[in-house]
Amino acid sequence: DQQVKQNSPSLSVQEGRISILNCDYTNSMFDYFLWYKKYPAEGPTFLISISSIKDKNEDGRFTVFLNKSAKHLSLHIVPSQPGDSAVYFCAASVAGNMLTFGGGTRLMVKP
Amino acid sequence: DGGITQSPKYLFRKEGQNVTLSCEQNLNHDAMYWYRQDPGQGLRLIYYSQIVNDFQKGDIAEGYSVSREKKESFPLTVTSAQKNPTAFYLCASSIAGVNTIYFGEGSWLTVV
């Protein structure tokens, strides 16, 4: 039973445009959400997070939106750059417990 | 530099052999984790430890063992009982009670 799902295994975007990566979850108890970025053969790096008391968090080119009623979060990257090409994982947790990861979305930003 | 060091980066193992992956962190984090990633798939939790001399099974602990004798070290042993050990293994750590975890560079294990 996948509690965190990333339904798009891949996404291709033109450089300079917006990238939108989506994540759905089923556990309404999740109260903290994170996005990680992973290059091949490297460990994931933390990108941005959001608490369930907020609906938006922004850090430079990266913005995460949380829609609790829809149990959906998204990561927006504007403008997209070729160096953003990587696999992005969303993750969620309940009250500081273990993170549950989605399956990842591979983003390809074309020059 | 502060961080999480995993070794070796690449490891080949013959079927029937046990192998131990090393993970060391100098971040003074209390909690440490082991994840497994299979090609094209997400991250699955193998074991975690929130304090020295204590650890808990994750979602896919069968065929693996760990120890936590020191705060900074959390080695993972992949035993011969693990049916499909070929994968990318990731060690991570975090401050106790804090959701954000930080990963090492990973170790590739291939069974030949």
Residue of chain A whose Cα is closest to the Cα of B49? A98
B29-39 confidence digits (pLDDT tens):
999 999 999 87
Q: Which residue would you say has higher pLDDT here, A14 or B15?
A: A14
Q: Give CA–CA dist A28/A8, Å, rounded.
A: 22
Give how far B96 is from chain A: nearest CA, Å: 9
Using a CB-CB cut-off of 8 Å, the residues of chain A touching B41 are 103-104
Give SS3 for B74.
Answer: coil
Q: Give CA–CA dist A82/A19, Å, rounded.
A: 11
Say if the Cβ atoms of B100 and A44 lie within 8 Å: no
pLDDT at B1: 61
Q: Give CA–CA dist A38/A105, Å, rounded.
A: 10
* Closest by CA position to A3, among listed A106, A92, A87, A80: A92
Say if the Cβ atoms of B105 and A42 lie within 8 Å: yes
Could you state, in chain order, the average pLDDT of each consecutive group of 10 residues for chain A (111 residues)? 89 98 96 95 94 96 97 98 97 87 95 92
Q: In what order do the strands lie in the sheet with B4-7?
A: B4-7, B19-25, B76-78, B64-66
CB atoms within 10 A of CB B67: 15
Antiparallel, parallel or unpaired: β A32-38 and A86-93: antiparallel
Say if the Cβ atoms of A104 and B42 lie within 8 Å: yes
Residue of chain A whose Cα is closest to the Cα of B98? A96
pLDDT greater than 80 at residue B97: no
Query: Considering all CA atoms of chain B, what is the largest pairwise distance in Å, rounded to the nearest integer?
Result: 39
Say if the Cβ atoms of B90 and A43 lie within 8 Å: yes
Average pLDDT over residues B71-91: 94
Within chain A, where are the H helices? none
Q: How confident is the model at residue B98 (pLDDT cuts 50, 70, 90)?
A: confident
Say if the Cβ atoms of B103 and A43 lie within 8 Å: yes
Q: Number of residue pairs across A and B with CB atoms under 8 Å?
A: 49
Using a CB-CB cut-off of 8 Å, the residues of chain B touching A49 are 99-100
pLDDT at A45: 96
Say if the Cβ atoms of B42 and A43 lie within 8 Å: no
Strand partners, A50: A33
Optimal mutation site among A2, A33, A101, A105, interface B, most CBs of chain B within 10 A:
A101
B45-57 confidence digits (pLDDT tens):
999 999 999 999 9
pLDDT at A1: 67
